[in-house]
Amino acid sequence: MPAASHDHQQCVHKALKTAEQLCLERGVQLTSIRQQVLALIWESHKAVKAYDLLDKIKPLQHAAKPATIYRALDFLIEQGLIHRVESLNAFVGCRCSDHKHEQLLLICKLCHEVEERTAQHVMHVLNEEFKQAGFSAHSKAIEIHGVCAKCAVNS
């Protein structure tokens, strides 16, 4: 988990630079609204709901509608720049967006921060289970709710 003195602006800057580079390499357009949505998601390590994003975008993009936000979110997910946190119906930035991966999301019930882990060993074991069951998984994300290390120390 990020430290209390953590500078989210560094996260925003890194995420935007990575997004610009990946979109350039892939020949897709990172529009202004997509950049703004990505920056807002990276303002913290907490999952952000679409309507909260809309509220934050409105002062910058007066004509923004829910569909505007959802289109931007769909693009960012498709490019692997963010993840949807299904259990919260919210979105969080992807810290490994430069390569395709499955993820384990650790969601703190106290501070609400979400830590992304690639959990390669866990995913390997799951893949073996799928193989034994003859099951073909199309996407894999595991969400675990609990208490992060920072909150455990502070409580």
CA–CA separation, 119 and 103 (whole Å): 7
- The answer to the question of whether 23 is labelled as a binding residue is no
Radius of gyration of the chain (CA): 16
- The answer to the question of whether 11 is labelled as a binding residue is no
Could you tell me the two tokens for 109? Answer: 């019930």
- The answer to the question of whether 151 is labelled as a binding residue is yes
State the first-to-last Cα distance of the chain, in angstroms, to the nearest integer: 16
Among residues 120, 111, 121, 118, the alpha carbon closest in space to that of 145 is found at 111
Among residues 73, 8, 10, the alpha carbon closest in space to that of 43 is found at 8
111 touches 73 (CB < 8 A):
no
Q: Assign 111 to helix, strand or coil.
A: coil
Q: Which amino acid is at 40?
A: L
- The answer to the question of whether 96 is labelled as a binding residue is no
Annotated binding site for Zn(2+): 108, 111, 148, 151
Annotated binding site: 108, 111, 148, 151
